Amino acid sequence: MRGPHNIWRLIRTGATLERTEAMKVVLDAFDAPRSVRIVLRAIVWPFRWLGYKGDPSMPPATRALTALGPAYIKFGQVLSTRPDVVGDELANQLRVLQDKLPPFSLAAARKSIESELGEPADDVFLEISEPVAAASIAQVHKARLRDTGEAVAIKVLRPGIERAFRKDIDAFYLAADVIEFLAPFARRLRPNDVIAHFEGVVMGELDLRLEASSASEFAANTTNDAGFALPEIKWRFSGRRVMTMGWAEGVALGDNAALDAAGHNRAELGERVLQLFLNHALRDGFFHADMHQGNLKVAPDGDIIAYDFGIMGHIDEYTRRVYAEILYGFIRKDYKRVAEVHFEAGYVPADRDVDEFARALRAVGEPIFGLDATKVSMGRLLNYLFEVTERFGMETRTELILLQRTMVVVEGVARSLNPQINIWKVAQPVVENYIRQSIGPAALARDLGKTAMVLARFGPRLPGLVEDALVRQASGKEAPRTRSGWVVWLGVAVGALGGAAGTALILHLMG
């Protein structure tokens, strides 16, 4: 529960931020007024000695959060996906936050496994190893299934982690309340909303069934992706606190020397990892949002293997089409079209000037395209684009920020494999293919097909719904949003011509 009992935790937090010199970094990130800086530091400074020292070799923010423990590490990782909240500099610091903590004992892991699976661990697994990786929420053990001998990875939540996170999240909410009360300048960042977003992410990661479900959906989407593989989820041996999957055997994608020794083509791997990500984001609208080298391996047969599905990104179909048109417009240097797409999507208020916006976009694109192809960064372009759209009144779209952040990470992975990679040349066929598939005649035919299916389901009810709406209008009992009968028929027409959205409009108008 939120309340005064969290004050001690907040004092310890503030003291650690001050002792590690992270307080200044945080205040700079939020552009705090001088008066607020003076007051805050005056309050915290006497308690400085209570703060954790942390690792002096780390940057201040990373040092402080690592010292404060698992919930703070995870909070930093989530904030690294929100440069709109913490600024680019702090987001970059948090992006490299190390999620490595001392492991808990094998005996405790076995106890969790037995409790979750409802049978002795030795009846299910052979040779459960000591932890091979330990993070803020869980750790991983290597084992073999007793009935098949197959090598598997067992992910086990830390004992008591749910209670520990719950206590810290309560303290975060109290901190957000205090910030909103004492620092009105910070209210525009909606601190409570940020904590609520963090809570949602963490609660999802604390139920490994949800991560297993994400992995299963991701695997279904990517079955036919050449050169890409995912470990198989072993549902029979998984639960809320334990997840078992096939063991990913291979070379870490970040180990160039080992990749070369194994005979893998790093240039081809760099192109493939980028194109795979773009396909997942555009084609499927469901992508691995933590696709760094630590979560990628290369199998002996050359397949790229992804694992750790705690953070996944989702983009609806309409947003994917908008995003693809924006990328395609930049590839073609058609800044007017990029501007029009923003207005058509409602991203930029209609009272702004589209030509002025197009000129601002040209100022973003031309300096980048004037660089050598090996220095052109799609992630940087998206970052500049968000800066411009913010100046023109575009509201923050969390899903696009997560996409941009992941794009930066994947681009970094590709460049680490091949520093000479031409990001735009590699991306162009994927984007063009998606444009053809989603906006051309084939897409129109699919939309009409979807509309026909929906209308087939509701068709028998449509005459009655229309008649009822007209009767309610005539009797004065119509719903406020149904202003006239012609609107109803317009909804029917839109439904027939414009896709499933039109049918949704019919149902909305009918109340």
Positions marked catalytic: 290
Distances (CA, A) of 312 to 211, 215, 217, 402: 9, 9, 11, 9
- Cα 447 to the chain's mean position, in Å? 28
Separation of alpha carbons 82 and 322, rounded Å: 21
**CA angle 158–162–166, rounded 5-degree value:** 140
Strands 131-134 and 138-145: antiparallel
Separation of alpha carbons 426 and 424, rounded Å: 5
**CA angle 174–178–183, rounded 5-degree value:** 150
3 state SS of 83: helix
260 sits in the region (left: phi over 0; alpha: psi -120 to 50; else beta) called alpha
Query: Residues 252, 293: contact at Cβ < 8 Å?
Result: yes
**CA angle 24–30–32, rounded 5-degree value:** 70
Query: Residues 307, 231: contact at Cβ < 8 Å?
Result: yes
Strands 138-145 and 228-229: unpaired
Query: Which residues, 6 or more positions from 418, have their beta carbon under 8 angstroms from its beta carbon?
Result: 266, 267, 269, 270, 271
142: part of which helix (H) or strand (E)? strand 138-145
Looking up tokens 């960042």 gives 189
